[in-house]
Amino acid sequence: MNIGIDLGGTKIQVGIEKDGKIIHKTRALLKEKDDLRSTLDQVIQFIKPLTLHKVDGIGIGVPSVVDVEKGIVYNVTNIPSWEKVALKDILEEEFNLPVFVNNDVNCFTIGEHKFGLGKNYSCMVGMSIGTGLGSGIIIGNKLYAGINCGAGEIGLLPYKDKNIEFYASGNFFSAFYETTALEAFTAAKKGDAKALDQWAAFGHHFGAAVQVVMYTYDPEAIVIGGSVANAYPYFEASMRQSFGDFIYPESIKKLNIHLTKNEDIALLGAAALVDLSLEHANGVVRK
C-alpha cells in the first residue's frame, strides 16, 4: 500500500491505494498559501495519520514542473510561496519513507494507464481541463515527462492571438462570456440556448487541442479529465466536427477518446509513483 497525494492550487486530497482503490481519503482547502511553512505543515498533518498504516512510500502530484530525481518542485500554480521547494527531502525527513514527486496531470495519466481507462493502451495521452489545460504522455507503456517534467504542456502552445489553454480551458468562459465554466455547465443542463452555444464554441477550440496531441504523439487513446470534463456531452459534437480538417482522417478514425470515470484516479496515479520509481531503481536500496 502507498500513500497518494493530489496537491492542487486550492485544495489537497490524500489517501492510501490498496488493490487499485483509494481508502482513508480526506480532502480540504489549502490555507495561508502565501506562507510556505504553513502550507507544508498542512500537507504534513494530512499525511501523518496515514503513516500509521503499513505503507511502502508516498507519491505526490503537484501542478508545476518538477525535478523528478531530486523531488524539487518549482513555481507551483496558484501557491505563491512554493517557488522552489525540496518536497522529497522535507517529507522523507519527516516520515522516513521514500517519497516521489511528479506533475499532477502526469499522475492523472499514470492513474488511467495503470488502473483506469488507459489500461489496454501502450501509447495514450491524458488531457486534464480545468482552469488550465495540461497533458500527460504514455509512450511504450512508460510515462514520458521530458527533461524538466514539462512534456505535455500543450496548453501553452501558441494558438490564435493567445495560447491553446486560453481558448480550451475554463478560462474561455470568463474571457469571452463573463461567466464561469460551472455556470455555463449548469445552464446547459437546463437547456439554455446561450450556454449550449458557448459549449459548442468551446468544443471547436478543444478539438484543435486534440489535433495538436494527434500531430505530436499520435496516441491510441486520449482520456479526458478535470473539472471541465463534466460538460463533455455539451462539447463533444463540436469537438468531433472540428476534426474535419485533420490531414490524416484515418488516424482520427482509429483514435479512442474516453471520459474519466474515477474521481480518485489522480490519487491512484500519485500512489503508483512509488512502485514505478522503485521498479526503476535497478536494485538501489532506498530508506
What is the residue-wise DSSP string for 175-196? HHHSS-HHHHHHHHHTT-HHHH
Grid coordinates of 77? 500554480
Q: Do 100 and 141 sit in the same domain of this protein?
A: no
Span of 28-37, 98-107, 222-231 with lowest mean pLDDT: 28-37
Is the residue at 188 inside a domain?
yes
Residue 61 lies in a domain: yes
pLDDT band at 50 (very low <50, low <70, confident <90, very high): very high
Whether residue 189 is found in the same domain as residue 244: yes
- The reply to whether 178 and 201 lie within a common domain is yes
Mean pLDDT of the 20-39 span = 90
- CA–CA separation, 72 vs 89, rounded Å? 8
pLDDT value of residue 287: 33
Residue ending a domain, choose from 71, 106, 141: 106
| Rounded mean pLDDT, 115-141 | 95
Find the range with the poorest average confidence among 88-92, 98-102, 282-286. Answer: 282-286
Domain enclosing residue 213, as ranges = 119-259
Residue 270 lies in a domain: no
Q: Are residues 96 and 195 in the same domain?
A: no
Say what percent of the chain tops pLDDT 70. 97
Average pLDDT over residues 175-195: 97
* Same-domain status, 255 and 141: yes
Same structural domain for residues 123 and 247? Answer: yes
Query: What value does the mean pLDDT take over residues 92-105?
Result: 96
**pLDDT category of residue 131 using cuts at 50, 70 and 90:** confident
Residue 153 has pLDDT above 50, yes or no: yes
- pLDDT (0 to 100) of residue 174: 94
User: Has residue 167 been placed in a domain?
Assistant: yes
> Does 151 fall in a domain?
yes
User: In the predicted model, is pLDDT for residue 40 greater than 90?
Assistant: yes
Please name the residue that has the C-alpha cell 490524500: 14
Q: Are residues 71 and 146 in the same domain?
A: no
- What is the rounded average pLDDT of the residues 51-77? 93
pTM for the structure as a whole? 0.92
123 in the same domain as 86: no
Q: Are residues 137 and 62 in the same domain?
A: no
Residues 126 and 251 reside in one and the same domain: yes
- Confidence label for 148 from pLDDT (cuts 50, 70 and 90): confident
pLDDT for the residue 279? 62
Number of domains comprising the chain:
2
Average pLDDT over residues 254-261: 96
Domain end position, chosen among 85, 106, 127? 106
- Pairwise pLDDT comparison (247 vs 9), residue with the higher score: 247
Instruction: Place 284 in a pLDDT band, splitting at 50, 70 and 90.
Output: very low
State the average pLDDT over residues 235-248: 96
Q: What pLDDT, on a 0 to 100 scale, did the predictor assign at position 163?
A: 97
Same domain, 83 and 125: no
